[in-house]
Structure 1
Amino acid sequence: MELGDRFKYRREVLGLTQEEVAKEVSRLLTSDKFNRVTVSNIELGNQQSMKDRVLLAVIQILKCNAEWLVNGKGSIEKIADSNVELVPIQGLMCPVISWEQAGNFTSIEHLSEPDEYSFYPSPVKSGPNTYILTVRGDSMSPKFEEGDLIYVDPNQIEAISGKYIIAAISEYQEVTFKQLQILDNQKLLKAINPDYPPELKYLKINNNCQIIGTVVAHVKPL
């Protein structure tokens, strides 16, 4: 892949539009010279370099390693000094529930036999009924890998483009984890795995599909 291919790949993995990337980079640069056309030119290969200040802003927004973005070398994401990330604990203890339970979840208070559940503290401020699911499958990789933990707030059900959501699909009687995309007023569920074929990447939301929660935190087990 060339610079433009890597730029586009990382942008799509994060679920960002060209407009969103341009807006955030411009905010960091306090300049409107970096716009959607600039992003498009980079991704098309018409622009094959960036000034230092621009590059520093871009890697912040794309959350990636500069060496990988520019030269295709090294890890995609920055490697921290430790494999343990310290996060502030908000005090809320959240239960790990099954995907089947997520479809009918009402509140933590109504859990049957709470002693049988594992509880972990939420790393972010979230609603009182936030629960935890274990990621399954590869539709949301590489950002979300099988076995990762996602914290879901069932009180956040507003349709916001770009958010990672849990949706109940009555037609298939299942609950799914996808990214919400709103294009031309059409709500779509997107699998962010770049290797997924186009016919499996998007699922239209209709009367048989309901948002039942928004992912508010993501934790990778050691």
Structure 2
Amino acid sequence: MSEIGKRLTKLRERKGISRLQLAKELIEQGYIDYDSPESLNQYLYMIEKGKRKPKDETLKPIAEYFGVPLQWLKGEIVYIPIIGETQAGSFGGHVSESAEAYFPLPASIVSVPEPEERTFFMEVEDDSMYPQFKPGDLVHLADPSFCPLENGDEVVVIKDGEATLKKFKVGEGKIILIPANGNYEPIELSKDEATNIAVFKVIGFYRKNR
């Protein structure tokens, strides 16, 4: 299945309609002029299975119907969820269970598979990781099952609904979270405390122009 096929299938299933129902609505609502819903249904099947590579003029009305950018439907961009703020001092900020906003990225620069489901952004608060990260930066985070952690990695650690951005180090029976700013002290988590945390590796960041 092509990337276009995957995304078209995802949109259709999210809306809860069959290919034939999609074909009928595209024709009835004036998005596409086609011989019949049945023949358009067959064409949509070929797109979803990656057996046809449709042109932009075919995809554009489909994207308009679903209310998504054409570039997203073509797999050229991804929309990464922003789920809250991470404190760059002690634990703080907040972690949302759902996306508060989305940040668009060119798909070609994200190496993690299915980045819209397996990566996310958090906004940096405070300055314990200055100068590497400044307040307002967005850190791009990935599940460690796809990006294994190593000592010295910059990570966001989530504990009891709060988060902190630090350098990650495994010590003897503990985890040490190290700030870049010398005005702050490291945070040490015991082995028992470490069982109740989630650690996500920083794979990139974006700084707002200001």
TM-score range normalised by the length of the shorter chain? 0.3 to 0.5
Identify, as 1 or 2, the structure richer in strand: 2
Instruction: Specify the structure having the higher radius of gyration (Cα).
Output: 2
Scaled by the length of structure 2, what TM-score is found?
A: 0.48
Scaled by the length of structure 1, what TM-score is found?
A: 0.46
